[in-house]
Amino acid sequence: MSIEAYPIEVEFPDITPHEQSSSGIAYVHTFDSGLPGPHVMINALTHGNEVCGAIVVDELLRRALRPRRGRLTLSFANVAAYGRFDPAKPDAARFVDQDFNRVWTAAVLDDTSRTSSELERARALRPVVDTVDALLDLHSMHEKSKPLIVAGPLQKGIDLATRLGTPATVICDEGHPEGRRMRDYEGFGDPASAKNALLIECGQHWEPGAVAVARDTTARFLLLAGVIDEADLPPGWLAPLPAAQHIVRVTQPVVATSMDFRFAAPYTGLEIFPEAGALIGWSNGEEVRTPYDNCMLVMPSLRQLRPGVTVVRLGKIEQTIANPGAAG
């Protein structure tokens, strides 16, 4: 099955000038203000074809942004996959050997009998990630959907998302059966830890709007953490806040068991089906239907279809919260 690719409407930055760093880890830059404060990390290129985060981190490094308080790490994660990007096969550069965002458990990282390009890169980043108090992981999506926050399964993630105030949709989920995400790693996924993380899905991979969302959420995250002042931001990065945020709880993933999966329509994400039992697709010839009323499709896509991959998540809107920071 051939799926038409979206146009590439943004320029991919040359990040090679950022390879050398004082952290000793290629493409990972940590700056210490010398004053008390949290260690905040802005991470780009968890997936090699998700360029909006790379544009933001490249801009911040070129502008020599430095923290006024605490520490700031600006990082490019899967640079090997990014280096393989081919506009003729744009979805192929998501990773080299395996998904970088499915390896983040201590047991997997400690198991030296297992190796891959992504595991070795995660192991290189791990000493820095272990010291981070607040992580913002910048992503984009296979399909042209409105942006969303992935806040994880814990209340502390929801609280951080609502304090950030944008995007309008906050997804609460347990992650993927295939493996743990960076945003759920160790303290980020521990309800007893003060560490916290958000993952922002900024829009479709190669649309200019995704870059605008990445800039806005990065600016707001840094301000919320208190490591910079608003005067330190590049002009034009902050965008108006949405009037409200919708808290959506994922109840179950739909996981492909073979290459025989298809959707009933060209869904792109955040579609809501008013009545339970709505047909949304077929898996191995068997119907896949919504399990409850007002079921939302979260990030449906077949662009990375293979056995074990989550092709869509099903969610319920639990709460709608008016945004006090939105313009009236």
CATH number for the domain spanning 298: value is 2.40.50
- 258-316 residue pLDDT tens: 999 999 999 999 999 999 999 999 999 999 999 999 999 999 999 989 999 899 999 99
pLDDT at 1 over 60: no
Owner of token pair 């998501």: 94
Strand partners, 73: 30, 41
How far is it between the farthest Cα atoms of the chain?
60
Structural domain including 311 reads 251-320
Give Cα 67 distance to the centre of its chain.
23
Q: Indicate the pLDDT class of residue 3, thresholds 50, 70 and 90.
A: confident
- At 19-74, the pLDDT tens digits run 999 889 999 999 999 999 999 999 999 999 999 999 999 999 999 999 999 999 99
CA dihedral (180, 74, 92, 80) positive or negative: negative
Look at the chain and report how many structural domains it folds into: 2
213 residue type, one letter: V
Choosing from 176, 211, 244, the residue where a domain stops is 244
Residues 66, 102, single domain; the answer is yes
Amino acid letter for position 151: A
Structure pTM? 0.94
Q: How far apart, in whole angstroms, are the C-alpha atoms of residue 213 and residue 305? A: 27
209 with 75, same domain?
yes
Residues 207 and 185 in one domain: yes
Residues 275, 149 share a domain:
no
Instruction: From 201, 223, 244, give the residue that closes a domain.
Output: 244
Instruction: Tell me if 149 sits within 8 A of 161, measured CB to CB.
Output: yes
CATH of the domain at 82: 3.40.630.10
